[in-house]
Amino acid sequence: MSQMPNFFPALPEIFLLTSTCVLMIVDLSAKTIRRQRTYVLAHIVLLGCAFLTYYTTLDVVSPRPIYTFSDLFVNDLMSGWLKMAAYIAVATTLVYSRQYLIDRGLMRGEFIVLLLFALLGMMILMSANSLLTVYLGLELLSLCQYALVALNRDSAASTEAAMKYFVLGALASGMLLYGMSMIYGATGTLTITEISHRVGVLAGNTGDRTLLVFGLVFLVAGIAFKLGVVPFHMWVPDVYQGAATAVTLVIASAPKLAAFAMAMRLLVNGLLDLAVDWQQMLSILAVLSMALGNITAIAQTNLKRMLAYSTISHMGFVLLGLAGGMVNGNLLNAGDAYSSAMFYVVIYVLTTLASFGMLLLLSRAGVECESLDDLKGLNQRAPWFALIMLIVMFSLAGVPPAAGFYAKLAILKTTVAAGQIGLAVAAVLFSLIGAFYYLRIVKLMYFDDASKSGPVTAHADMRVLVSVNGLALLALGILPQSLMALCVASIKAL
């Protein structure tokens, strides 16, 4: 393990922290609700983070993990590519959200600052090599999300959603801390790499293994809450519906990348010798999530609530990928399984950005696009955006040639390769059920009469970005090899 005497591996995090503090001061001089200067500076900060991440992590021939801060922080290929994906997601969120927030008087400096601090929490989670760092990153991300949900303090629905999210989030944090204390009590260390070594020695002892598995249960509960899977999904529909659509987009997109990284760090990097135990737990959570998410979504008439249950089912697919890494004590399937899960979560984030981007594009001052009826006859009003929404729905449903099809196929292949035929069959059946409510939206757009009149109006930057976002899903469905290669390389470098 290489020790770094300087802060070079953490340059992106240091730059983001410093720049966000400067941005807060700059925002004090903002004269208009548009926050033009703050908005532009936020994008410059994201570009700077992307450059530093490429410079410190990705611009090397054979990258190896680099540790710093007394092994609390690791800079490796997986964290590098996940951070790049998070920058893209946050920048896209800013573009999509801007006009929506301006129309409702919510385009404040607080929104941008909280979003950037939430990004800092995600980056810390992605590079965590200690239970302390995992908790630090998770709490920074979570506290920013609670505040964002309550941003519209004049809305009773937003305030209620924020309270629910905060109370359940505090409970999940307590469970995660309790699990970490059990792991620390059994291994005597907080460093994830050291935990991995000691768990390999202790796993054969019945007494030590019992304590480790006891802690593992609570760790899995904390991860499951952050991903929003059954039975820790209670907050997802209420928060998605109650928060402003721009805030819902924040919660639904980039944080899923951080939650995936947390699962990889804790379960794969730290507790791989207990894979037999946590894979069984993840398999059960995956099936329950796919079942409840897809079946319950059929009954929803609110688009944000429907997409919330859709999220639950998709996170079930991610867990399915993580559950197929170790087979009969060997790791021959691990690279394919974990890289497929990483590919899936990246595609999911891109698809979520496009779906909520369309809702924001179709909303305007005093009008929310939240009901299924709001999409009726969209093809008559805006054929191009109806086509983009069709690509998004096909990707969520797993219909070729959209990227979601290849993502689901990759997960199913690794599940079958792991010998989990029953899980694969269940995943296919629940995907077929889920296709109903996605294709229902296509039917409303193309075959029903428009419930609203007039063309769809939006700023040029948003129209272009939504179009690029939708076409990217089509391109990645036809040519997924490059992105999959990045995921495979990232997992192999762990």
Question: What 3 state SS string does 44-96 have?
Answer: HHHHHHHHHHHHHHHCCCCCCCEEECCCCEEECHHHHHHHHHHHHHHHHHHHH
Ramachandran category for residue 398: left, alpha or beta (phi over 0 → left; psi -120 to 50 → alpha)? left
Percentage of the chain with pLDDT > 70? 95
Using a CB cutoff of 8 Å and minimum separation of 24, what contacts does 22-25 make? 23/109, 23/112, 23/113, 23/116, 24/109, 24/113
Q: What confidence tens digit (pLDDT) does each residue in 155-191 have?
A: 888 999 999 999 999 999 999 999 999 999 989 999 9
Q: Give the integer Cα–Cα distance in Å for 94 and 285.
A: 33
Please count the structural domains in the chain. Answer: 1
**Is 2 a member of any domain?**
no
Residue 397's Cβ-count burial label (10 Å; 0-12, 13-18, 19+) is buried
Range of the domain at 55: 8-492
Q: Which residues pair with 128 in a beta bridge?
A: 73
Buried b (16+ CB within 10 A) or exposed e, 58-84: eeeeebebbbbeebbbbbbbbbbbbbb
96 domain residue, yes or no: yes
- 105 conformational bin, left if phi > 0, alpha if psi -120 to 50, beta if neither: left
Looking at the domain assignment, is residue 296 inside a domain? yes
In a domain, residue 239? The reply is yes
C-alpha to C-alpha distance for 325 and 348, rounded to whole angstroms: 20
Q: 191 by DSSP, 3-state: which?
A: strand
* pLDDT at site 4: 44
In a domain, 343, yes or no: yes
Across residues 352-369, what is the average pLDDT?
87
For the stretch 255-276, pLDDT in tens is 999 999 999 999 998 898 888 8
- Do the beta carbons of residue 351 and residue 466 sit within 8 Å? no
Query: Does residue 3 belong to any structural domain of this protein?
Result: no
**416-445 average pLDDT score:** 92
Q: Would 151 be classed as within a structural domain?
A: yes
Backbone phi and psi for residue 330, each to the nearest 5 degrees, phi listed first: -115, 160
Beta bridge partners of 67: 3, 74
Mean pLDDT of the chain: 89
Which of the 8 DSSP states describes residue 233?
Answer: -
Of 135-144, 229-238, 257-266, least confident by mean pLDDT is: 229-238
| CA dist., res. 395 & res. 36, Å (int) | 34
Q: Work out the angle between the directed axes of helices 421-447 and 383-397 (0-180°, nearest 10).
A: 170
Q: Is residue 220 part of a domain?
A: yes
- pLDDT one-digit tens code per residue, 31-67: 777 778 889 999 999 999 999 999 888 766 556 788 8
Q: Is the pTM of this model over 0.85?
A: yes
Nearest one of 408, 302, 296 to 351, comparing CA atoms: 408
Give Cα separations from 314 to 103, 260, 318, 326, 466 (angstroms). 32, 12, 7, 22, 22
Specify the pLDDT at position 237.
92
Closest of 113, 47, 119 to residue 82, by C-alpha = 119
